[in-house]
Amino acid sequence: MHAAGFDSLTWRKGPTPDLPAAAFHPVTYLDELGREHSWELADTPVDLPLSDGQTFRMRQVTRRETRKHATRQLHILTTRTDLPATEVVYRMSSRWRQENHFRYARLHLDLDSHDSYQATDDDPTRLVPNPVKKTSHDTVRALYQRVDREKARADAALLAATTPTGGSGEVLITNEMFNQLTAPLRAAQDDLAAARDHHKTLPSRVPLGDLAPGQQVLDVETKLIHHAIRMSAFTTITALARDIRLNTSYARAEDEAFTLARQVLTHPGDIDPRHPGRLTITLEPMPTPRETRAVAELCEHLSATKTIYPGTNRTLHYQIKTRP
């Protein structure tokens, strides 16, 4: 991957030697939301062994943390040497944001909804799991259990047959008696061997056209377009919430930034195109004075970006009315 131009960023798993305490230094990092993070980090190179006996050098950023009176070291491996150690740790700790994004989108943006019932032909050459293989696997597993049961029964029958009764001496078991007592076990073993041989001949995946000719799927293009629109809307509200936290004096921004952003996006207002080169959006006052003040500061920040309305040469200017 490195030779092909790809960079990696991942946890170092498995038994890893810890670094000495002298290798760690306290650092701080200010993220895009204005939050300050404090860590104890060590930045060292490591040579990882390869299967051919050679080694591959990577950068290891180690974070030391103490929880419940126990200290542990978390090792991060990357091929990026241009990033500060704090940026490496922040990016690694933020990896769940992607999973959280799609989890939130499924709950609130209906990513799993049917946006179109238009169907198209599925790819008949696409390989899919072979259901016959699964049925064969279940059969083999059931035969293993049958062999175990028959073996237990044969052992019990042989023990009973060779145990003297009434004070008599040793009991002699003939070949005919032995074959009769173990016949069910041998039959189960033969069935198991045949089932295993048959299971090996079955492919794990088969072309969809052989399994279900004429298979239809819902139109993918429409769904992807709708997904892009929903994700763009989510990115927009996330950016507004971040601006409310960083660029307004809203006292409850940490808890209510997304709520206020949703109110702003659905709030009524006016669009004034009368000024040449400018498009003015004026919102109605918010329900409370503190929300109105916060939105006024947000409008001032957004106007300062001098964003051009798509397809025109007009600069967007935002403002909000104040109550008399």
Q: Which among 304, 279, 307, 283 is positioned nearest to 293, based on CA atoms?
A: 283
Burial grade of 260 (CB within 10 A; 0-12, 13-18, 19 or more): buried
- CA 109 to CA 260: how far, in whole Å? 18
Domain ranges of the chain: 9-94, 127-211, 231-320
pLDDT of the residue at 113: 76
- CA 46 to CA 12: how far, in whole Å? 11
Distance of CA 60 to CAs 20, 23, 29, 42, Å?
14, 12, 18, 8
Dihedral angle at the C-alpha atoms of 109, 110, 114, 116, nearest 10 degrees? -10
- pLDDT tens digits along 24-78: 999 999 987 778 899 999 999 999 998 888 999 999 999 999 888 889 999 999 9
- 134 confidence band (pLDDT: 50, 70, 90): very high
- CA 323 to CA 29: how far, in whole Å? 41
- pLDDT tens digits along 160-186: 888 776 656 666 778 888 899 899 999
- pLDDT tens digits along 70-102: 899 999 999 999 999 999 999 998 888 778 877
